[in-house]
Structure 1
Amino acid sequence: MTDAAAVERARKLLAENPVLDGHNDLPWALREKVGYDLERCDIAQDQSARLHTDLARLRAGGVGGQFWSVYVSTEHQGDDAVSATLEQVDCVHTLIARYPDELQLARTADEVEAARANGRIASLLGAEGGHSINCSLATLRALHRLGVRYLTLTHNDNVPWADSATDEPAADGLTAFGVEVVREMNRMGMLVDLSHVAPSTMRDALRATRAPVIFSHSSARAVCDHPRNVPDDVLAALPANGGVAMATFVPKFVLPEAVEWARGAEAALRDRGFDPLSSAPEAKAVLQAHEEAHPRPTATVATVADHLDHMREVAGIDHIGIGGDFDGVAFTPEGLEDVAGYPNLVAELLDRGWSETDLAKLTWRNAVRVLRDAEAVARDLQRTESPSIATIEQLDGPAR
């Protein structure tokens, strides 16, 4: 465990270069727990009993910017997925309006910097899963107009035009329509997020894109062999692309011993009729019983730092960041229990010899730079390209 002096030094560093985190599932947690009734879950109050996130802990953690995930489960499909995503978008806008002294909407790199200058937490939106656009480029553009600044191409299941990391291969990466989605995102200035996608999809997207990509919450597969992590050849391709891989804290993605434990826990949930992502009290009781019978391996701050050390070595310091996935997971590492924990990670990296300049890139500068670079690409493309009106039927043929 890092000492108090290192943590205090980390806090000072974060005051100058705060965390711009790539992924937080607070909107989904608010949907699931209170049906978006913010009177019943006021994040201006201490919510540590039921959430990883509230305003005081964001401040304590040195968070200066947050991509709020507007994720919806793949149980929602078609127009239902679009509507549910819009409800998530509405939740984020409602949060920003409710707490104007703490949160500020940011749609560009300049607006991120302006929010920081105003003493607010820059609040960006990221859509998690291509099912949210229902194979419609017009829907994609509408989400962009509402402030969504990245789309994760898949979630845990394939979409008709892209393969997920945790589903059976169907498209062998991106289909022709999937390439069109990537190129239209480039034209708009929406970041292509490659967390959750299969390695074949990662590689196809890197070939197709004309702008930097991100991984909003993925760690290193060489350190923990889980399909949600990024292979070394893809990490090594990021310097040429300009993209950023944001290490996540999810124990079952970062700790090898936790991978097998998680498989057993998920099987126990499925055996009792629960989705592994369920946050229902009954599902939590199943998890608790499983943990009592099979003690859970515990990830720590050092576990996450091991991933960041490797990612820096392979991708380079200019191409890594942080995406905690708070409020989207049941378990978190020791020292990173909630959004107040970022100083512990920075302190661990200081103890490992990371320079203040390197840490500033990790926490803030790389994420702002990738936004700015994607905006510059979009400005150039919009001079010569019109919005795409292609359909999946035109490019991929009838649904298989």
Structure 2
Amino acid sequence: MDRALQLMSETPLIDGHNDLPWQMRERFNNQLSKVDLNTFNGTHTNIPKIKDGRLGAQFWSAYVPCDSQYKDAVRQTFEQIDVVHRMCQKYPETFMFASSSQDILDAFRQKKTASLIGVEGGHSIDSSLGTLRTMYQLGVRYLTLTHSCNTPWADNWLVDTESETSQHNGLSPFGKQVIKELNRLGMLIDLAHVPVKVMEQVLEMSQAPVIFSHSSAYEICKHKRNVPDDILRKVKEKQGIVMVNFANDYVTCSYTANVADVANHFDHIKKIGGADIVGFGGDYDGVPRLPEGLEDVSKVPNLVAELLRRNWSDAEVKAALGGNLLRVLKETERVRDRLIGTDPDDDPIPYAQVENPCRTSYGYDVPNQAALHPLTAATLLLTVSSQVFITLSHE
């Protein structure tokens, strides 16, 4: 453990996925004024646990459920982005907002937790590249292409369980536009929650390395949220990263698990793809059950010590802690800089692919059935009637 803590003092532990912002919505309706993260102990994550766990950098999840798709997903996602910014403002001694690889290193030198944002679910952009670009401007640095529902442009992981039907054979043509725009922006592409077909398509076409922000090894636990060996090999070729999920369901495919079970996933990913493609993606505050010895964020050093007991070298542990993610992010930034002269993609998704009662068609060459809101029509009718009444009265 002493050696583990020493290594964690030299290299930032960068975790790929934490759902504390969603807990703030569910428990407090995003009213941070009603909670003190220094003392609140009802979540896997609070400030004392972060300190004990030596958390160097965290991708906080801006997540909204699939039932918000076609409704208010964009608004709710912006509110979750706002929560992360406000967390950093409320606790500046603990958190430093980060949007680049250099920011992570700067925060680590200042002994603060670098706070990055990942949007978990393509439904959050409502099939809009403009929305995606706006989220990047607000600091979002990865997009999980789907959560647990198909979008109008990508299939989700449930397709591989056959509980949902493929709508796009992976990515639609617009989905491929999204991948190119993510590369151009310098936003990480997160393949957690997508089916194997999408994994293969993205690994083939992306110019930048990809991440799995919170997924484990399928060979160890045959859950469709996990990553098969042939994909691990392609991740190695692409120099990406698989950040191991700690949730029992993805670790042992059963109700219980322990630290050794999680380390088995690290060992397997290292065996197939090398220590350079593995990282930490705890999924704290997003799952109901966690392994014995990894019950909250403070316990992560237990896993680092377990890897050392398994003869992982100092260099391998440092790579898994944060070196790998930093490399992936830096390369994604280099791809962005190389594409800096490329114009933003402003070709919208075909209207027929997104038409629904909650969407207007402004800008498209189709009749806009919702051009006049019923309430507006009623108000207009009332106004005209009033004017007629006034005119007749004066006569």
The TM-score range, normalised by the shorter chain, is: 0.7 to 0.9
Larger Rg: 2
Match of 2:114, SS state, is: strand
In structure 1, the partner of 2:95 is: 103
In structure 1, the partner of 2:37 is: 43
- 1:43-75 CA-partner distances (Å, limit 9, x unpaired): 122x33x10001111111111000000011011
Distance 1:8 1:82, change over 3 A: same
User: Is the aligned partner of 1:34 residue 2:28?
Assistant: yes
Instruction: For 1:391, give the aligned amino acid.
Output: P
Match of 2:246, SS state, is: coil
Separation of aligned partners in 2, 1:33 and 1:95: 15
1:374 to 328, 332, 354: 332
Alpha carbons 2:21, 2:83 under 8 Å: kept: yes
Shift of 1:397: 6.0
2:201 to 201, 204, 216: 204
2:45 to 50, 53, 57: 53
- The worse-fitting range, judged by mean Cα deviation, of 234-243 and 164-173 is 164-173
In structure 1, the partner of 2:291 is: 333
Instruction: For 1:255, give the aligned amino acid.
Output: T
Separation of aligned partners in 2, 1:390 and 1:203: 24
Shift of 1:207: 1.3
- The worse-fitting range, judged by mean Cα deviation, of 297-306 and 86-95 is 297-306
Give RMSD over aligned pairs: 1.4
Shift of 1:148: 0.2
In structure 2, the partner of 1:73 is: 65
Shift of 1:399: 6.1
In structure 1, the partner of 2:382 is: none
Instruction: For 2:236, give the aligned amino acid.
Output: P
Separation of aligned partners in 2, 1:39 and 1:332: 29
Shift of 1:37: 2.0
In structure 1, the partner of 2:146 is: 154
In structure 1, the partner of 2:311 is: 353
User: Is the aligned partner of 1:172 residue 2:169?
Assistant: yes
Separation of aligned partners in 1, 2:235 and 2:84: 30
May I ask how many residue pairs the two structures share in their alignment? 351
Q: Percent identity?
A: 45
In structure 2, the partner of 1:3 is: none
Separation of aligned partners in 2, 1:105 and 1:241: 28
Shift of 1:41: 2.0
The correspondence of residues 1-400 of structure 1 with structure 2, limited to 5 A, is 7-45=1-39, 47-48=40-41, 50-78=42-70, 80-167=72-159, 168=164, 169-256=166-253, 258=254, 297-383=255-341, 385-393=342-350
- Of structures 1 and 2, the one scoring higher in RCO (CA 8 A, sep 6+) is 1
Separation of aligned partners in 1, 2:63 and 2:48: 24
Shift of 1:34: 1.0
Match of 1:127, SS state, is: strand
Shift of 1:79: 5.1
Alpha carbons 2:152, 2:354 under 8 Å: kept: no
Alpha carbons 2:186, 2:333 under 8 Å: kept: yes
Separation of aligned partners in 2, 1:89 and 1:83: 10
Structure 1 spans left out of the alignment, 5+ residues: 1-6, 259-296
- The worse-fitting range, judged by mean Cα deviation, of 121-130 and 297-306 is 297-306
Instruction: For 1:12, give the aligned amino acid.
Output: Q
Q: TM-score when scaled to structure 1?
A: 0.86
Q: TM-score when scaled to structure 2?
A: 0.87
Separation of aligned partners in 2, 1:141 and 1:346: 36
